[in-house]
Amino acid sequence: MVSKNITVKNEQGMHMRPASLLSQKATPFESSVKIMFNGNSYDCKSVMFLMSACIKCGSEIELVCDGPDEEKALSEISEFIESGMGD
């Protein structure tokens, strides 16, 4: 298991478009990909779970990846989140 703390920079936070793009990025990985936020765990492969997290700009999240391709998943997904998630 690997993890990384990230500050969300997207001005609108985790709304539909970035949640959908993040889910598309996470789905191909064999590893589980989760966001820890406010004491809860959210599956990054589910748009609905991501939207239910109510993650806003400036929120501190922990990205947690666990599985055979966890290092690659952590690298690619953390880079996507840090870049603003397509917005």
List residues with catalytic annotation: 15
* 8 Å CB contact between 28 and 78: no
* 8 Å CB contact between 6 and 82: yes
Please, which residues have CB within 8 angstroms of residue 40's CB and are 6 or more apart in sequence? 53
Q: What are the structure tokens assigned to 62, written together? A: 């922990």
